[in-house]
Amino acid sequence: MMTLRSLGLGMLALGFLVLPARADDKDKKVVVDLPGPIDSLEDLQDSGRMLFTMADANKDGQISQQEAIDAGNLLVGGYFFRADKDGNGSVSREEAKESRDAFLAQRPLLRVIVQRAQAKDPKVTAATRDAQQGAMSLLDTNNDGQIQAPEVKQAVQTTVQSVYAVADTNRDGQMSPSEVNAAVAGAVRSAVQAMYQKADTDGNGQLSQAEYDKAIIEPANTIFLVLDANNDGQLSLQEIQAAERVLASQIRKLNLPEPANSPRNLIESGRTPAQAAPVPSFTPAGVRPAQPQPAPQPQPAPQPRQ
């Protein structure tokens, strides 16, 4: 049976998510508003369709295993080459750590959460270390302490094949949008089942109140440790407000202003793209760019004959 980690890697390798069409009622529209550039369910659906279309190289409305592998190689390979600072085709543990640190440096809120949680709870530090070692072991098939490009490609191929073995329910070697949606739903259900089984410590198939409380309390304790900036075991109003300010600042960074040359702004303003912003020329080498034609000069009106 495919593990949750393999399924998660598969979804990452496939690099797309297709959601069901937006259901609009004649009298009302149901819109889920999310902060940031993707600020509605329709935006999320459009993003999923765009990623699906990008992966669907032959435009047949389905994603073959090879198309998924190609998309996964582009997605995972981009991270690999970013981590491979010396360009030798291998990523060492040090390069992997440097890439992770750079990732966190670009996301201050996530960095603060990770650092505080690790500093205050040895279990979090151990879990993070185990996850990193597990990912390294999963990719480092020859156990040399480094990850080579062929190992990354093999991991992508193996993971995609594992996903297709489960998610390709009609066994045609293709993933249709409906199968992608069903795979996402199955992944969510599997994650919920795994969480339930972890919480059911006595394994009797039931959650007692004590087990339920423990499952809720442990994540809450981690959040408490993150918010308790001065480590006094108390949450002051100032600490809560500081956390709110950090969260609000991160959400504001997600909100991107609509550019002046967006189709909507161009239509509303009546300007051309060149009037709204400079338009660069991508003329191929050796081809002379077209010269703008001078505007015709107004001709003098003919004089009436005497």
The DSSP bridge partners found for residue 34 are none
What pLDDT is stored for residue 230 in this prediction?
A: 83
Structure tokens at 302: 């003919």
Tens of pLDDT, residue by residue, the chain (306 residues):
444 444 444 444 443 344 444 444 444 444 444 444 555 667 667 777 888 888 999 999 999 999 999 998 888 888 888 888 888 888 888 888 888 888 777 776 677 777 776 666 676 666 666 666 666 676 777 777 788 888 888 889 999 999 999 999 999 999 999 999 899 888 888 988 989 999 999 999 999 999 999 888 888 887 887 788 888 889 999 988 988 887 787 777 766 677 888 888 889 999 998 898 888 777 676 666 666 566 566 667 667 666
The DSSP bridge partners found for residue 64 are 174
What pLDDT is stored for residue 209 in this prediction?
A: 92
Answer yes or no: are the C-beta atoms of 266 and 279 closer than 8 Å: no
Question: Of the candidates 152, 212, 160, 185, which has an alpha carbon nearest to the alpha carbon of residue 18?
Answer: 185
Strand ranges for 160-244 from DSSP E: 174-175
Distance of CA 272 to the CA centre of its chain: 33
Residue type, 284: P
pTM metric for this prediction: 0.59
Structure tokens at 87: 């360009």
What pLDDT is stored for residue 170 in this prediction?
A: 93
Q: Taking the CA of residue 237 as centre, how many other CA atoms within 13 Å lie in the half-sphere pointing to its CB?
A: 0
Q: Taking the CA of residue 275 as centre, how many other CA atoms within 13 Å lie in the half-sphere pointing to its CB?
A: 8
Residue 176 — left, alpha, or beta (φ > 0 → left; ψ -120 to 50 → alpha)?
A: beta
H-type alpha helices, the chain? 4-14, 41-55, 65-83, 93-105, 108-120, 122-139, 149-167, 177-199, 209-227, 237-254, 263-269, 273-276
What pLDDT is stored for residue 188 in this prediction?
A: 86
What pLDDT is stored for residue 306 in this prediction?
A: 60
Measured CA to CA, the distance from residue 196 to residue 287 in angstroms comes to 64
Q: Taking the CA of residue 243 as centre, how many other CA atoms within 13 Å lie in the half-sphere pointing to its CB?
A: 16
Residues 6+ apart with CB under 8 A from 53: 59
DSSP code per residue over 75-125: HHHHHHHHH-TT-SSEEEHHHHHHHHHHHHHT-HHHHHHHHHHHHH-HHHH
Q: Where are the domains of the chain?
A: 4-91+146-200, 208-254
Measured CA to CA, the distance from residue 74 to residue 58 in angstroms comes to 17
Q: Taking the CA of residue 245 as centre, how many other CA atoms within 13 Å lie in the half-sphere pointing to its CB?
A: 6
What pLDDT is stored for residue 51 in this prediction?
A: 84
